[in-house]
């Protein structure tokens, strides 16, 4: 998730308007909402000092806003927190071990992540069972999703089309029942 999406996420979570947040970080009232919209849409990228001010106002760590750096433990933790927010990933315990789980009921993105993790688990299990070599496993991981044989990618109709079809079928069924 890009920095603009994170700003938008935390701003909405805090119930703030773009104008309010923009004014809190020092933009003039006249242009505060426009300036913040530019950062949220990715038209502009905030510099370090503005990121710090936004984080302070939103009561989060600057790392929670920044594009995560997974080469540091703190960056990795904020990446996991982002996955929790966006995909329903949550920390749990199983058999006395810390584990990560995906709540597939959160949204369609969570369900998709779950499918992808299941594919990864399947490839790892094949490696462990000796069904594929380390080289084949690495090729699967580093070229993902190209060699993922479990993919069930489908096109999903737009919400508008879906609603229209539901209405049409409902009307059709009502007409058949009244006939």
- DSSP letter string, 132-153: S-HHHHHHHHHTTTTT-TT---
Domains and CATH numbers, the chain: 3-85 (1.10.260.40), 88-170 (no CATH)
Alpha-carbon dihedral angle through residues 13, 18, 20, 22, given to the nearest 10 degrees: 120
Kindly report, residue by residue over 14-55, the tens digit of the pLDDT.
999 999 999 999 999 999 999 999 999 999 999 999 999 999
Question: Tokens 């890009």 belong to which residue?
Answer: 2
The fraction of the chain above a pLDDT of 90, given in percent, is 46
Tokens of 92: 């749990």
pTM greater than 0.85 (yes/no)? no
Kindly report, residue by residue over 69-106, the tens digit of the pLDDT.
777 888 889 889 988 988 889 999 999 999 999 998 88
């Amino acid at each position: 998730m890009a920095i603009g999406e994170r700003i938008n996420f935390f701003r909405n979570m805090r119930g703030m308007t773009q104008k309010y947040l923009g004014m809190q970080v020092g933009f003039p009232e006249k242009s505060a909402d426009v300036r913040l919209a530019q950062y949220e849409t990715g038209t502009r990228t905030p510099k370090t000092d503005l990121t710090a001010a936004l984080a302070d106002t939103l009561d989060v760590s600057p790392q929670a806003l920044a594009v995560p750096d997974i080469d540091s433990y703190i960056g990795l933790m904020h990446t996991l927190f982002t996955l929790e927010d966006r995909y329903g990933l949550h920390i749990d315990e199983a058999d006395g071990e810390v584990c990560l789980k995906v709540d597939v009921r959160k949204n369609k993105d969570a369900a998709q992540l779950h499918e992808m993790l299941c594919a990864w688990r399947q490839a790892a299990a094949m490696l462990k069972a000796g069904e594929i070599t380390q080289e084949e496993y690495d090729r699967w991981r580093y070229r993902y999703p190209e060699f993922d044989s479990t993919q069930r990618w489908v096109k999903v109709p737009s919400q508008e089309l879906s609603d229209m079809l539901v209405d049409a079928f409902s009307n059709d069924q009502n007409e058949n029942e009244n006939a």
